[in-house]
Each structure stands twice: as C-alpha cells, then as structure tokens.
Amino acid sequence: MSWTKEDLHRLIKTKLADRLFIVVSNREPYIHISSGDEIQCVVPVSGLTVALDPVMRACGGVWVAHGSGDADRRVVDEKNRVMVPPDEPSYSLRRIWLTREEEDGYYLGFSNEALWPLCHLAYAPPIFYEADWNTYKKVNQLFADAVLDEIGDRQAFVFIQDYHLALLSRLIKAQNPQVTTAQFWHIPWANPEVFRICPWGEELVDGLLGNDLLGFHIGYHCDNFLNTVNLLIEARIDYERSAVIRNDKTTLIRPFPISVDFDQISRDAASEDIKQEMERIRQTWKLNDKIVGVSVDRVDYTKGIPNRLLALDKFLAKYPEYQRRVVLLQLAEPSRTHIRKYKELNLEIDDLVEEINWKYQSGDWKPIIYIREHCSPPGILAFYRLAHFCIVSSLHDGMNLVTKEFISSRVDEDGVLILSRFTGAARELTEALFINPYATDDFAETIRKAIEMPKRQRQARMRKLRHTVEQNNIYKWAGNVISELTNLGL
Ligand code: ADQ
C-alpha cells in the first residue's frame, strides 16, 4: 500500500495534536502578483509546495517565507500574514520583507554564488564575500525573529527548508530552547575536503547542528555531513545511530528521499486535456514521424545541459541513419539570470544549439528544439508523455524530481529514462539507463540504446520504475519526516 494524502492527514492529527507547526522556506507557497487592476494568487511550480501544502492545510499552521510577489504587501495584515490557499483559507502565510541589498547578499550572493557551487561538484568555484555572509546572517536572524514571534509561548515544531537558512535553528533555539526543529537540505552535501574551503564552514555546520533532526536525500550525503563534522568541529559522532552530539545536544542525521504526487500526476497525465495538448505539440513541431527525446530543467550549470547537447551531436555523427528522425525537445526554465555564471551558461547553450542545428538541419528538420520559458504543469506532462526517451544528465543533483515526474506521467508504461549516476534519484531508479554525463561517447551510445530498446523491455523497466515511485511518493517523504520529528520525545 502506498501513502495517501489522507494517511498524512491522519498522522498529523494524531502526532501533532495541538502543537503549532511552522514551515520556513525562502520561497513562498503562494505569490500575489498584480494583473492589471486585479491581484492574482499564483502557486509557484515546486515540489516543496506539493509536499507541504497538504500538511499545512491539515494542521493549520504557519508558513514563514520571503514575500517576493509585487502585490504581496497589499494583501497581508499588520503582522504581514495572509490566509492561504485563497479558495479554502486554512493556514497562515507570514511574509518576510527583504531589501534589494538583502536579497542580493543573502539569496544571489551567499546562497547561490557560495553555498550552491560549494555543495555541487560541477567545477564551478564558489565565490565567498564577507559582506554576503554578513547579510546571510542578518537575513537568517530576520526569519528567526518572525518564527519566534509566531510561536510566542506555545509549543511548536519548526520544519526548515534548505541551504538559505543554515543558521536558523541555532538562532531560534538561542531565544527559545523548547522549540523542536528539523531541517531538510535539498541539495547534496559535499565531501569534507571540498567543504573545508568555505571560510565560515564551522559556523554553518554548527548552525545546522542547532536542529534536532537534519535530513538529506540519500545516505551518501548524510555520511558526507558526518565526515565534515568530524573534520571541522569538536563533536562526538555516533555512527551507529547516525547522530552528532555537541555540547550535550543530539542531532539525528537521516536520509529522506523526496518525491512527487504519483497518483495525481498519473491522473492528470491520463486526462483528455493532456491528449489534446500532445496533439497540439506534435502539430506545432512536426513530430508525427519522429523519435522524440525530452529534457526539462532549470537552466543551471549543475544540470549538464551542454554535456547532453554534445552527446546528441556525437550520436548523430556516429549514427547518421538517425538524422532527420530524432528530435530532442529541451524545455528550459530561466533561473538566477542575474548571476554571471548563469548568463555565461545561457550563451554557451545558445551557441551549442545553434551550432548543432546548423550542422545537421535538413529541410524543416533540426535535431534540437530549444524552448526557453516557464512551461505550465499540463504542458510539461504532455511533453513527458510524447517522449520516446527522457534525458536527465545532471553533473550533480540532490535528487532530481524531473525523473519522478516523467515516470509518474507514463500511464502508458512506456518510455526510457536516461539518468546521470550523479543524481540522488539514481539510487532508487535502478531500471533507468545510467550515464556519466562527462563520458560523451558512452552517453551517445546510451541514446542509441534507448532508441533501439525493444518495446517489451521498455515496458518492463517502466513498470518497475512506476512501482518504485508509487511506493515512495511525496506523502511518504512528508510522513517519514513528521514521524521522526514527533518521535523526538515531545
Ligand atoms: P531543482 O534544482 O529545482 O530542485 P528538480 O528536482 O529537477 O531541481 O526540480 C525542477 C522542477 O522544475 C521540476 O518540478 C520541473 O518540472 C520544473 N521545471 C523545470 N523546467 C521547467 C520549465 N521550463 N517550466 C516549468 N517548470 C519547469 C532542488 C534540488 C533537487 C531536488 C529538489 C527537491 O536541486 O536535487 O530534487 O530541490 O528537493
């Protein structure tokens, strides 16, 4: 039996009882934006909202996040709160306001130019500026003040998300040691030799050890974290329990592989609307007699987009019989475009797409269709369903949810997943075809293998992949974190 939304509701009712449940993340689950004279409430595409929105609806807690919408301030009360979701107000969203300088230093600077490259092995060197670090500390304190204000003298669980808020649990506990906190780190944790270049590594690790529970996607990241603790600070490590004891305080370190809402995606993908959308895409891009590959990413240097294009180039050169027959549809969501490294990546991808298409195009066929825009969720499902194969070629990735969305959408039990070994998802999705994205020739060979795989084998693999994702869905992830959190003796 797989976990359902209802199981999660029941767990919350029994385990959380009347304690206040607070989620804290940089990104908000609902954004208010101006649309002419109206205000629109938008749900950003995010695995996190899918996972935690049902939890929040069930327990009616508070979600604290950075208010980033241009109409966000217009809908909040005097405590910067607004009830969400708009159609069924059930929990409160408390917004934190950041100045342009604070956003630059904390979000673009320390989070995304220092911590992001530090934690991903993608050969992009982190940039450390003391001013960014100071802003990061200041903004973590702003979040802590808001959380403490929400808690007052109640008993509370606080569930902190990601690398933007590494110092938060420590700052909360300094004021209110009774609060129980858990944090989930959505990106990899690098090995200690890599991590030690961070000038404030000790403070970051100490900050994270303010938590009672610290989660990563896979055991390997937990081990890297424990080894980093061992190298950087004074603490006792209990490898048996996977725990760190520092100044008599214990932090449990646990793997919780994140996932998607398998049932919902499967239902949506089987709908008549998606079938029509598939037809529309086929007509627009003239795909009717083509073998279609699909990739879906934020444009980020960790996702290995250039490596994928080079492998496709190699494949077409080595197997010219596939020219005019194979098309790679690359959906690319612009991301962090104010950071230089990302600007350079965009130029590199544009060049490669242009070069490869120029080299092979013939008549109205070109091998790469590059769609750089935010795509609606139904649009993405239609692309997944059209695909003969889906390529995920990350150089390093905490989990990678595109893999699980692709699998959940394949209600027809067909389609091949080509998957980088360097994703968290590779640990679970063992029926994928694995690649090393740096090994261009092997990668090209794997594209051929995916295309030529007999239908029976494709289906057998996809059936197993679907079973894995169905069993390990997003509700299991949330349920496991909450069970572990509530077992901490409160
Ligand atoms: P991300 O690095 O953002 O997440 P990923 O897990 O692949 O990576 O999620 C990307 C999401 O963006 C998917 O839901 C996908 O559908 C969506 N998306 C991509 N391109 C899009 C487009 N053009 N239009 C609309 N939507 C698009 C971080 C970590 C991951 C980890 C997640 C969750 O880096 O390793 O899996 O958090 O913990």
Distance 44 CA to ligand 1 centre (A): 11
- Do residues 237 and 344 share a domain? no
If you take atom 18 of ligand 1, which residue's CA is the nearest one? 297
- Do residues 338 and 192 share a domain? no
- Do residues 51 and 144 share a domain? yes
Residue 42, ligand 1, Cβ within 6 A: no
Ligand 1: residue of 26, 43, 45 to mutate (most ligand atoms within 8 A of CB) is 45
Q: Total domain count for the chain?
A: 2
Ligand 1: residue of 402, 405, 423 to mutate (most ligand atoms within 8 A of CB) is 402
pLDDT (tens digit, 0 to 9) for every residue of the chain, 490 residues total?
789 988 988 888 888 878 899 999 999 999 999 999 999 999 887 767 877 887 898 888 999 999 999 999 999 999 999 999 999 999 999 999 999 999 999 999 999 999 999 999 999 999 999 999 999 999 999 999 999 999 999 999 999 999 999 999 999 999 999 999 999 999 999 999 999 999 999 999 999 999 999 999 999 999 999 999 999 999 999 999 999 999 999 999 999 999 999 999 999 999 999 999 999 999 999 999 999 999 999 999 999 999 999 999 999 999 999 999 999 999 999 999 999 999 999 999 999 999 999 999 999 999 999 999 989 889 999 999 999 999 999 999 999 999 999 999 999 999 999 999 999 999 999 999 999 999 999 999 999 999 999 999 999 999 999 999 999 999 999 999 999 988 885 5
Location of structure tokens 């794997």 = 446
Residue 386, ligand 1, Cβ within 6 A: no
The 3-state DSSP composition of the chain as helix, strand, coil percent (nearest 5) reads 50, 20, 30
Three-state DSSP class for 362? strand
Residue 482, ligand 1, Cβ within 6 A: no
- Do residues 329 and 466 share a domain? yes
List the Cα angle 416/420/425 in 5-degree steps.
85
User: What is residue 160's DSSP assignment?
Assistant: E
Please, are residues 92 and 63 in contact by the beta-carbon 8 Å criterion?
yes
- Do residues 461 and 482 share a domain? no
> What are residue 95's DSSP bridge partners?
65
- Do residues 237 and 318 share a domain? no
Ligand 1: residue of 26, 121, 160, 296 to mutate (most ligand atoms within 8 A of CB) is 296
- Do residues 482 and 429 share a domain? no
List the Cα angle 454/457/459 in 5-degree steps.
110
Distance 375 CA to ligand 1 centre (A): 12
Residues 6+ apart with CB under 8 A from 267: none
Please count the other Cβ atoms lying within 10 Å of the Cβ belonging to residue 326.
24
If you take atom 20 of ligand 1, which residue's CA is the nearest one? 297
Distance 70 CA to ligand 1 centre (A): 23
Residue 479, ligand 1, Cβ within 6 A: no
pLDDT at 489 (0 to 100):
58
Please, are residues 290 and 327 in contact by the beta-carbon 8 Å criterion?
yes
Distance 433 CA to ligand 1 centre (A): 20
Residue 390, ligand 1, Cβ within 6 A: no
Distance 244 CA to ligand 1 centre (A): 31
Q: Which two tokens stand for residue 136?
A: 């990061």
- Do residues 20 and 142 share a domain? yes
Q: What is the pLDDT of residues 165-204, one digit of tens each?
A: 999 999 999 999 999 999 999 999 999 999 999 999 999 9
pLDDT at 9 (0 to 100):
84
Query: What CA–CA distances, in Å, run from 481 to 8, 12, 183, 257?
Result: 11, 11, 9, 10
Determine the atom of ligand 1 nearest the C-alpha atom of 331: 23
Residue 332, ligand 1, Cβ within 6 A: yes
Residue 265, ligand 1, Cβ within 6 A: no
- Do residues 285 and 417 share a domain? yes
Residue 393, ligand 1, Cβ within 6 A: no
Report the CATH number that the domain containing residue 19 is assigned in CATH: 3.40.50.2000
Distance 296 CA to ligand 1 centre (A): 8
- What's the rounded Cα separation, in Å, for the pair 203 and 57? 35
Q: Which amino acid is at 341?
A: K
Closest CA to 431 of 407, 454, 399: 407
Residue 400, ligand 1, Cβ within 6 A: yes
Distance 407 CA to ligand 1 centre (A): 15
- Do residues 341 and 202 share a domain? no
If you take atom 28 of ligand 1, which residue's CA is the nearest one? 186
- Do residues 229 and 116 share a domain? yes
- Do residues 444 and 416 share a domain? yes
If you take atom 23 of ligand 1, which residue's CA is the nearest one? 333
Residue 423, ligand 1, Cβ within 6 A: no
Please, are residues 19 and 490 in contact by the beta-carbon 8 Å criterion?
yes
- What's the rounded Cα separation, in Å, for the pair 322 and 316? 6
Residue 294, ligand 1, Cβ within 6 A: no
- Structural domain containing residue 165: 5-259+474-486
- What's the rounded Cα separation, in Å, for the pair 387 and 399? 21
Distance 21 CA to ligand 1 centre (A): 26
